[in-house]
Amino acid sequence: MPRGWRSSWMVGLPIELGLEPPEVTLLMLTLAISIVTFVSARTNSLQGVVHLAVFAAYIVLIFDV
């Protein structure tokens, strides 16, 4: 990915992930949850359940027509 960013910067073209707004929201939510999980000294089952819930929402969005 860094090579693609560098190439697009050199050519002057923007990079598109091809994600719709709900998918971008889930991506940002996943990043935020992951930061909280990895920064904390210990994890618990609630954090795992939250990760699974976000994953389930992503699966629902994949098959939403």
Give the domain ranges of the chain: 18-63
CA distances to 14, 27, 37, 53, 59 from 2, in Å: 14, 19, 25, 30, 27
Taking residues 25-43, report their average pLDDT.
Answer: 90
- What is the reported pLDDT for 28? 92
Give yes or no for residue 65 having a pLDDT over 70: no
Share of the chain above pLDDT 90, in %: 32
Which band of pLDDT confidence, cut at 50, 70 and 90, is reported for residue 22? Answer: confident
Average pLDDT, the chain: 86
Distance CA 21, CA 31 (A): 15
Taking residues 42-57, report their average pLDDT.
Answer: 91
